[in-house]
């Protein structure tokens, strides 16, 4: 299946997996004295990543930056 949303253009260069990836994302949390929650949508998606983010393929354990997983 070709990805068309969050994973558009992303595929493991080693095993060809394109279904799921473990990506180190930056998270915006709303913090109060009681604790922290993922920020509400009006402050953005709450988390984000880019080509420089760490990525791991859960199928073959290939690791690298997300840029290395872009389909060329």
Binding site for Zn ion (CB under 5 A): 12, 14-15, 17, 57, 59-60, 62
Of 38 and 60, CB closest to Zn ion: 60
Of 14 and 65, CB closest to Zn ion: 14
Contacts of 30 (CB under 8 A, 6+ apart): 36, 37, 38, 39, 40, 43
CB of 55 to Zn ion, least distance (A): 10
Of 46 and 59, CB closest to Zn ion: 59
What is the Cα–Cα distance from 62 to 57, expressed in whole angstroms?
5
């Amino acid at each position: 299946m070709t990805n068309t949303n969050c994973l558009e253009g992303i595929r493991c260069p080693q095993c060809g997996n394109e279904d799921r990836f473990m990506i180190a994302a930056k998270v915006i949390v709303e913090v109060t004295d009681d604790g922290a929650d993922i920020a509400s949508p009006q402050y953005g998606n709450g988390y984000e990543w880019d080509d420089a983010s760490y990525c791991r393929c859960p199928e073959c354990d290939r690791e690298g930056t997300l840029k290395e997983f872009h389909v060329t």
